[in-house]
């Protein structure tokens, strides 16, 4: 119960890493505010959270809508009077070779993976500063450090997210607010479901992961909870790779 009486916002909580993270916080006593654009799936997450007996509020909207973000933060403050932890998980992938990318694709991917993360932090940080405490965890990717085939814009967006994390950590280091990132490797989620459905392709990745398996959303959730907890009270500006050792072989 590390997070009893804490208020946690998790974006992109309808499934995958976001859902696993929200459930992990609920299991440890936190009150949750969850967001996603997929209302049906988000409702399923809400039901799962309530099974733990913890309080939860949900908001369905496009994470790029600044006014909706501000309204969600205001609603959270009205309901709980505080925001202790923000997990920026909402994101979108890309599998498109660079010559066939378009400016619209750039705007969409950078808008969700970059600008929306900035907007969420910008909306929440003043509330945390008023309380002289808070923890932000941004979900980035090992692809923010290593280029992937047909992922040029995704690489750029996750690289930007990593540096945004470090910039916020440096600016807020004296305020009691910590900002860190978790960089997942190959994780079994909706974004990778089709890819890992191919046994040959899955085996190819598993051969390149020292731990010999693809990760689970719960693996990422555990890292998020650690960085959000008092156990990480002297950690800020860090990016924790959770990849089964995959980047060891890439170096």
Would residue 207 count as lying in a domain? no
Domain that holds residue 126: 7-187+216-250
Kindly tell me if the per-residue pLDDT of 198 is higher than 80: no
200 falls within a domain: no
Give a yes or no: residue 90 inside a domain: yes
User: Is residue 203 assigned to a domain?
Assistant: no
The long-range contacts involving 96-100, CB below 8 angstroms and separated by at least 24 positions, are 96/150, 96/153, 97/149, 97/150, 98/150, 98/152
- Is there a contact between 168 and 121 (Cβ–Cβ < 8 Å)? yes
Q: Among 88, 76, 137, 87, which Cα is nearest to 117's?
A: 88
In this structure, what CATH number is given to the domain that contains residue 131? 3.40.50.720
How far apart are the C-alpha atoms of 7 and 21, rounded to whole Å?
Answer: 14
Structural domain includes residue 233? yes
Catalytic entry in 15, 37, 118, 154:
154
Note if 154 is an active site residue.
Answer: yes
Q: Flag whether 196 is in a domain.
A: no
Domain total for the chain? Answer: 1
pLDDT tens for residues 72-112?
999 999 999 999 999 999 999 888 999 999 999 999 999 99
Asked whether the predicted pLDDT for residue 251 surpasses 60, the reply is no
Confidence (pTM): 0.95
Q: What's the pLDDT tens digit per position in 10-65?
A: 999 999 999 999 999 999 999 999 999 999 999 999 999 999 999 999 999 999 99
Look at residue 173 and tell me if it is in a domain. Answer: yes
Residue 157 located in a structural domain: yes
């Amino acid at each position: 119960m590390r997070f009893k009486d804490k208020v946690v916002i998790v974006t992109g909580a309808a499934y995958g890493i976001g859902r696993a993270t929200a459930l992990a916080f609920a299991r440890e006593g936190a009150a949750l505010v969850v967001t996603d654009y997929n209302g049906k799936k988000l409702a399923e997450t809400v039901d799962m959270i309530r099974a733990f007996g913890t309080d939860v509020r949900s908001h369905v909207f496009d994470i790029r809508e600044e006014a909706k973000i501000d309204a969600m933060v205001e609603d959270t403050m009205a309901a709980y009077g505080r925001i202790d932890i923000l997990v920026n998980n909402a994101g979108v992938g890309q599998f498109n070779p660079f010559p066939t990318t378009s400016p619209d694709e750039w705007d969409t991917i950078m808008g969700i993976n970059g600008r929306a993360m900035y907007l969420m932090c910008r909306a929440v940080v003043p509330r945390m500063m008023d309380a002289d405490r808070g923890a932000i965890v941004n979900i980035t990717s090992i692809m923010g450090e290593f280029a992937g085939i047909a992922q040029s814009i995704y690489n750029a967006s996750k690289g930007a997210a990593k540096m945004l994390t470090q910039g916020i950590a440096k600016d807020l280091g004296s305020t009691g607010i910590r900002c860190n990132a978790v960089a997942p490797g190959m994780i079994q989620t909706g974004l990778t479901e089709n890819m890992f459905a191919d046994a040959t392709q899955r085996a190819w990745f598993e051969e390149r992961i020292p731990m010999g398996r693809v990760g689970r959303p719960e693996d990422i959730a555990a890292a998020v909870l650690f960085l959000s907890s008092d156990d990480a009270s002297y950690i800020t500006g860090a990016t924790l790779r959770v990849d089964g050792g995959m980047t060891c072989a890439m170096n």
